[in-house]
Amino acid sequence: MTSRLTSEQQRRARRIAARLADELNVQLTDELQQLAADLVRWLSDNATPQRRPHRLLEQLAELSGVGPGDHSAEDGGLDRPFLQKIIDTIADPLFVKDEQHRWVLLNDAYCEFMGYPRGELLGQSDYDFFPEEQADVFWEKDNLVFSTGQPDVNEEKLTDAEGVEHTVVTKKTRFIDAQGRKFLVGLIRDITERRQLEERLEVARRLMSLGTLAGGIAHEVNNPLSYVLTNIEYLLETLDDPEEPTDEKRRALQAALRGAKRVQEIVEGLSTFSHASDDRLRPVNLVEVLQSTVDVAAADIRSHATLVEDYKETPTVQASERSLHQIFFNLLVNATDALGDGDPSDSAIRVTTYTDDNSNAVVEIMDTGEGIPPQHQDQIFDPFFTTKPVGEGTGLGLAICHSLVAALNGHIEVDSKLGEGTTFRLVFPPSRCDSEPEDSD
């Protein structure tokens, strides 16, 4: 059941929706209002103590008479009926399995989430209820916890009784009872709504990005197009004139060809940015993706600053091209916005790639703007946080960057000094084909 928003939450949602509508230059639709309401509701739900899985496991361990780590219970622990009542008060789905991977204890939330009565689930295993590919993942993670005793947190897909696929985060911990028997306690958080919300936020941000692109692309295309048109007009006028030197006509054709090729390069770069193949992860040449993104944004950058590019070789990274384009473009737009409207020769944006001492691929995007105040540096990746005036930014760009980088197993760092500028540093681990040593004979 969807929780109702309080009056304050409703006001917050309306402010967020209005800001989005203003930034996107669209009407304040029901879709935008629902997006804002969903975000406020999700943030509210996930701020409560009962939505913190690690604390729930600790509380369950304490109530059961066991401690954290490689847990063992002493005589005199809570009896099963009382323990059942306790775990039924927990809002998140919780399960306990034995070493044969059979469910031996379930709370009401788990049964409701799965869509099956407790009696049908107890004594059964994942393979009795889930698709084989999902059960394989659950079984493998269970074995890892049983064998190592180390807790495991994993994002997984889970299909319920109605065939609805959920995206969940499951934390599993091993416990040992007084007789030395091993049990696995798992706690589930359904993050399906969060993932859907992130996708909707990314679409909103991409719409904003395309709006920013439009002016720069028009300017970038018009220049070479003018070479093409001017020289073709000249050739049409002089085609039948025997007195017009052939060399002049040849030069006109060459100039038109250069202009047409430049337009072709711009269109290819824009197509790559807007329609990067798909979201599947595979080894990607990070420098090539970055260069194509810089080419698309170059016109807007050069109207604000000197653009300096320094690309050194990096390993391939396991990523989707679309995600990388989105990350790079957001940071380039952010750097450009930081410079204001002064003389472009007084400002600079520097784009650099290199390989660090740990064989990671590194991208740095630096601007010589005013910098970020120290008190704001811990907040810049929060959704909707912005220091810009109302109507000049939604605060989505850096939040989306942070989410996308984390999804690619990378991390993002920021170095900023007031009056000197800001550097965003992206660090990505090498893909397996670059990190695994070759077999030796």
Same domain, 183 and 257: no
Please, what's the largest Cα pairwise distance for the chain? 111
Given a contact cutoff of 8 angstroms between Cβ atoms, the answer to whether 211 and 25 are in contact is yes
In a domain? residue 224: yes
**Separation CA 350–CA 348 (nearest Å):** 6
Which of 54-58, 320-324, 349-353 has the weakest average pLDDT?
Answer: 54-58
Residues 127 and 245 grouped into a single domain: no
Q: How much is the pTM?
A: 0.45
Task: Please classify residue 31 by burial: count the beta carbons closer than 10 Å to its beta carbon, then call 0-12 exposed, 13-18 middle and 19+ buried.
Answer: exposed
Considering the domain architecture, whether residues 396 and 327 belong to the same structural domain is answered as yes
Query: Do 110 and 217 fall into the same domain?
Result: no
CB 408 within 8 A of CB 317: yes
The answer to the question of residue 369 being in a domain is yes
Q: Say if residue 226 is in the same domain as residue 249.
A: yes
Would residue 221 count as lying in a domain?
yes
Asked if residue 204 belongs to a domain, the reply is: yes
Residue 274 domain-assigned?
A: yes
50 in a structural domain: no
Q: In this structure, are 239 and 363 located in the same domain?
A: yes
Residue with the larger pLDDT of the pair 290 and 379: 290
Question: Could you tell me if residue 173 is inside a domain?
Answer: yes
Residue 11, domain extent:
7-45
Burial environment of residue 337 by CB neighbours within 10 A (0 to 12, 13 to 18, 19 or more): middle
pLDDT in tens, 109-126: 999 999 999 999 999 999
CATH code of the domain in which 260 resides: 3.30.565.10
pLDDT tens for 231-289 read 888 888 888 888 878 888 888 888 788 778 777 766 665 555 554 444 678 899 999 99
Instruction: Specify which residues 310 forms β-bridges with.
Output: 352
Both 300 and 393 in one domain: the answer is: yes
Task: Give the confidence band of 205 by pLDDT, cuts at 50, 70, 90.
Answer: low
| CA dist 214 → 27, 217, 300 (Å) | 20, 5, 10
86: buried, middle or exposed (CB in 10 Å: 19+, 13-18, 0-12)?
Answer: middle
| H helix or E strand, kind and range, residue 4 | none
Answer whether residue 440 is part of any domain. Answer: no
Segments of 42-122 assigned E as strands:
71-72, 94-97, 103-106
Same domain, 271 and 157: no
Across the chain, how many H-helices and E-strands are there? 13, 13
Total domain count, the chain: 3
Same domain, 182 and 251: no
pLDDT of res. 198: 74
pLDDT digits (tens, 9 = 90+) for 371-418: 988 888 887 877 656 666 544 554 567 877 888 898 888 999 999 998
245 and 120 share a domain?
no
Q: Do 292 and 406 fall within a single domain?
A: yes
- Residue in the structure block whose two tokens are 């018009």: 222
Residue 251 and residue 377 in one domain: yes
